[in-house]
Chain A
Amino acid sequence: AQKITQTQPGMFVQEKEAVTLDCTYDTSDQSYGLFWYKQPSSGEMIFLIYQGSYDEQNATEGRYSLNFQKARKSANLVISASQLGDSAMYFCAMREVVTGGGNKLTFGTGTQLKVEL
């Protein structure tokens, strides 16, 4: 069974600073994928970044980067130059490919990020 652990219930960061949100995972699969999603108060889950287990480079998407350490089974999200609009809940998720090629995601419990002036 897959498991995602996010140990930081809440984080504070000052505007324009960088912040790291932690995520560790457990799986017996050799091939897997890791996602980060942002959930603002409106409720919609917004896809941020993806890392495949065989990807040699750490994923980056604009101000988001994923610090992937396979041996340690960690996939931490780094947000650079934080903005007030980054205040939201952040979820780490792992995919299991199911029948027909669909992605069944297992989510962590999330980290509530608050960006302060």
Chain B
Amino acid sequence: DTGVSQNPRHKITKRGQNVTFRCDPISEHNRLYWYRQTLGQGPEFLTYFQNEAQLEKSRLLSDRFSAERPKGSFSTLEIQRTEQGDSAMYLCASSLGSSTGELFFGEGSRLTVL
């Protein structure tokens, strides 16, 4: 399977703990995105990388959130000192620089903070 891969698929943690999610994009895609989706809502943009450079961050991305994409390949999203409000599906997507630039999404990482 050569699609976008995310892990872990599910994470249950206690409030105050740190969690990290990993995303492996489609290999030839230079753009990578993180979105967050809460129940009953559409995904919301968090951040975007072109190669290893983080070019755009949403104000939703508080200082407890950090994302990296070393070497322009896989990406990690870390949430420090988790809160119950962080419970959501975290979706990763990648894209090429095509005219439409459609995003190809992974199956997401579901976070539950107890």
A residues near B, CB below 8 A?
4, 33, 35, 37, 42-47, 50, 52, 91, 93, 95, 98-110
Contacts of B102 on A, CB cut-off 8 Å? 35, 47, 50, 103
Q: Which residues of A contact B85 (CB under 8 A)?
A: none
* Chain B residues closer than 8 Å to A100, beta-carbon distance: 31, 48, 50, 53, 55
Indicate if the CB atoms of B105 and A103 lie closer than 8 Å.
Answer: no
Q: A99: which B residues are within 8 A, CB to CB?
A: 55-56
Contact check, B103 vs A47: say whether CB atoms are below 8 A apart: yes
Task: Report whether B41 and A98 are in contact in the complex, using a CB–CB cutoff of 8 Å.
Answer: no
- The answer to whether B55 touches A102 (Cβ under 8 A) is yes
* Complex-state Cα separation, A25 to B10, whole angstroms: 33
Given contacts A43-B91, A44-B106, A110-B41, 12 further A-B contacts (CB under 8 A): A33-B101, A37-B105, A44-B107, A45-B105, A46-B105, A52-B99, A98-B48, A100-B53, A100-B55, A101-B31, A102-B95, A104-B45
Can you give 11 contacting A-B residue pairs, CB < 8 Å?
A43-B108, A45-B105, A50-B102, A100-B55, A102-B31, A102-B56, A103-B31, A103-B103, A109-B40, A109-B42, A110-B42
Interface residues of B (CB under 8 A from A): 31, 33, 35, 40-45, 48, 50, 53, 55-56, 89, 91, 93, 95, 97, 99-108, 110
Known: A102-B95, A110-B42. A95 touches B101 (CB 8 A): yes
Q: Are B48 and A102 in contact (CB under 8 A)?
A: yes
In terms of DSSP, what is the predominant structure of the interface of chain A? strand
The chain B residue with its CB closest to the CB of A101 is: B97
Contact residues in A for B91 (Cβ distance below 8 Å): 43, 45
Closest B residue to A112 by CB, please name it: B40
Asked if A93 and B55 sit within 8 Å, CB to CB, the answer is no
Partner pick for B104 among A47, A91, A104, A105, CB 8 A cutoff: A47
Report B-chain residues with C-beta under 8 Å of the C-beta of A50. Answer: 100, 102
Alpha-carbon distance A45/B104, docked complex (angstroms): 7
Residue numbers in A under 8 Å from B89 (CB-CB):
43
B10 → chain A, closest Cβ, in Å?
10
CB nearest neighbor in B for A110: B42
